[in-house]
Copies of this chain bind each other. A is one copy, B any other.
Amino acid sequence: MPVFQETAHKERDLRINPTIEPPLPRLTPHPDLSDARDGIERHEVVVIGAGPAGMMCTLLLARYGLGDSLVCYDAKPGTLKAGQADGLQPRTLEVLKSLDIADEIINHGCHMSEVAFWNPKPKSSPQDPPAIERTSFAPDVVVAARYKHEVTIHQGRIERILENNLDQYASNVIRRSSRFVGFQLDEEGDAEFPVKFEIEQEGPDGTKTTRTGRTKYLVGADGAHSAVRRSMGLELAGETTDHIWGVLDFVADTNFPDVRKRSAIHSDAGSVMIIPRERIQSGEYLTRLYVQTVEEVDPSEDAGVNGFGSNGVKSKEKSKSRRAGITLESILEQAGRVFQPYEIKIKEGTEVDWWAAYQIGQRMTPKFSLQDSKGHDRVFIAGDACHTHSPKAGQGMNVSMMDSYNLAWKLTHQIHGLSPQTESPSVLSTYGFERTTIAKMLIEFDTQFSSMFSGKIDSDKSVEGLTHEQFLKVFSDGSGFTSGCGIEYPAGILVEPPSPGNGYPVTGDNYLHGTLKPGRRLLNSKVRRYADANLRDLQDDFISTGRFRVLAFTSLDLAQKEGRSAKSLTQVGQSILPSFPAGTVELVVLHPFPERRFEWVDIPGTVKKLAEMRFHGPIDDSLYPTYGVDPNEGALVVVRPDGYVGVISSLVDVAQVDSYLSKSLVKV
């Protein structure tokens, strides 16, 4: 178009950049990090380990506002770690989406939508060769979730995506070739930066120098051999069970019909799990196989496993030799026996991407943090440093990243002065409380789930007394864990348990399909935004910026000046929200009308003023019922910064909302 006059503001040039979310407000003074007084580097947070847990923690802290006072040390040199995990659960995908880093993973990862169950084929005569047959298909994700599938993709790729995003928020935060040596709490030396630690750095020429630093908080995400954990005096405790498995990533050449689906194969010769994987550069698709390699290791032999570090006990010879006998060839041979009558081999012209052997074990530390003399949490561990599971249910990388997701906002709120200092227990202390609870439940579930997968199903269709139908039931019942969507944090200062009857506005208990419950994540729904009629995902108003949100389900009398909704919204907007620091609590509003019924002037002004672009209606009749809310009554819900429901109150009981928020945030 022919322009003859044009004027641009300089800010306009910024509009070309990727969207960056704003940091949390900071009420505390910015720290003096200079090393002038004693030559010692100082940080507000030091993260040890740049795997999924450590990288996620570092990224979140940087996004929330600590990018300038944060480092992450990793022992490995410049390259990214080529990890073993590969599965992302629906809940993890929701969280990655809330950080705007899910697209590459969803576009290019492998989606697992369906599981195939294969079992021994009944023989018509005893001379028949062993064979398997498909018993059934089942959906991989049976709970309500924004993404109805898991995604598998190389762990190193996820780490790279996290690091790429970190580059948008902070620079020079990841420091490699830097091995954590140990820490001590030295409150007398510097009360503000009481954690004194040592790092051994390796220069390009191989020379090693040890440096001392101080930090307010230390996060150990340094894996199963965690030096931070050791320095805390903690150990992983638990059982090493009796199943040894091989795992193999390769391009398969097979006539097995379900190679592109997650498949649980039980044969007379043992068990195999197929995990389909992403397309690689060659255009081919990877396949991961978990292959049970030996029938049994006597658990009384105290099978110590290389990899358990200080917890390992010297193995007995029998188990040791069994493990030593496992080779790529033996894994493939065993797979071949299980797959009969089908064939599976490495595609001609390709190389095996990776293979390994491992023994299933479930272990965890009794606590995830260490307190200073005042009882204030100073050192934390996250991820494999505090729990290890089998890979069967695809938990590892997910639970690890979710540890960090739970911790990072609490740590930032503490450092920024947003958490009340009068409360005991503190907001920050809920990290250990909440995540050990989840870890214990997961370890119990994983023990059951793993041994089930390791078990043998006879051609009469029972696994050690378990029928295929019972197996399916455990699989389905476990979906809350395996999807990550059923996680429920225990009651505490951040989770106020429901008090049904007392005006509590939610009915029903279909929590896996959306019924609101304190401690559970807010389910996504498709909604229609009022202002622009756009189809939106409700979770996109709950992105991970460290803010609390009040979600108002307004009632059918929304357009009545003296109605429940009008009163409630006015109080929330005029009294409650302004009493907390600006930018720490946002308002999101839903209305119950699928069709257009009102104009802006008909409803309380608070909505346009505080939530013009976060005000939505249903696209059909299911929105309020999904969450268990009666449109006649409405409801107020406080959603934590990590997307979990904190408290649910009657639309008119704004005092309960105020009370909950007052425990979670300082007042201004």
Contact = CB atoms under 8 A, between A and B. Distances in A.
A12 B353 CA distance: 6
Contacts of A149: 534
Contacts of A160: 16-17
B15 A600 contact: no
Contact of A353 (B9, B281, B307, B353): B9
Contacts of A354: 6-9, 12
B7 A285 contact: no
Interface string A255-299: 101001100000000000000101111010100000000000000
A531 B112 CA distance: 11
Given A160-B17, A285-B613, A613-B285, A1 B396 contact: yes
A620 interface: no
Of A13, A16, A103, A255, the most chain B CB neighbours within 10 A belong to A16
Contact of A389 (B1, B3, B307): B1
A476 to B, nearest CB: 17
Contact of A613 (B2, B15, B260): B260
A286 to B, nearest CB: 8
Contact of A261 (B18, B107, B533): B533
Nearest to A156: B16
A326 B347 CA distance: 70
Nearest to A154: B15
A283 B15 contact: no
A3 B307 contact: yes
A19 B159 contact: no
A358 interface: yes
Contacts of A19: 104, 107-108, 279, 281
A17 B163 CA distance: 12
Contacts of A599: 257
A281 B20 CA distance: 7
Nearest to A309: B2
A313 interface: no
B11 A307 contact: no
Interface stretch (A25-33, A79-87, A408-416, A518-526): A79-87
A159 B16 CA distance: 8
A114 interface: yes
A353 B533 contact: no
A361 B19 CA distance: 35
Contact of A107 (B103, B157, B257): B103
A429 interface: no
A535 interface: yes
A615 to B, nearest CB: 11
Nearest to A359: B2
B534 A4 contact: no
B323 A15 contact: no
B260 A358 contact: no
Contact of A4 (B5, B79, B157, B357): B357
Given A107-B100, A276-B532, A353 B15 contact: yes
A308 B1 CA distance: 9
A100 B105 CA distance: 12
B113 A535 contact: yes
Interface residues of A, number: 88
B4 A307 contact: yes
B9 A352 contact: yes
Interface string A393-405: 0001000000000
Nearest to A104: B18
Contact of A1 (B1, B154, B278, B390): B390
Given A104-B18, A149-B534, A4 B306 contact: yes
Contacts of A531: 260-261
A356 interface: yes
A4 B323 contact: yes
A328 interface: yes
A104 B255 CA distance: 40
Contacts of A159: 16
A159 B307 CA distance: 49
A17 B14 CA distance: 28
Nearest to A115: B533
Contact of A600 (B110, B257, B361, B601): B257
A142 interface: no
Interface of A: 1-9, 11-20, 22, 79-80, 82, 84, 100, 103-104, 107-108, 110-114, 137, 149, 154, 156-157, 159-160, 224, 240, 249, 255, 257, 260-261, 276, 278-281, 283, 285, 305-308, 323, 326, 328, 351-361, 388-391, 396, 531-535, 599-601, 612-613
Given A2-B361, A8-B353, A279-B613, 20 more contacts: A2-B307, A3-B358, A4-B305, A4-B323, A4-B359, A6-B84, A6-B356, A7-B355, A8-B82, A12-B154, A13-B82, A14-B280, A15-B82, A16-B154, A16-B156, A16-B160, A17-B160, A137-B533, A260-B613, A261-B531
13 contacts: A3-B358, A5-B323, A6-B354, A6-B355, A6-B357, A12-B354, A16-B154, A16-B159, A16-B160, A17-B160, A19-B108, A260-B532, A276-B532
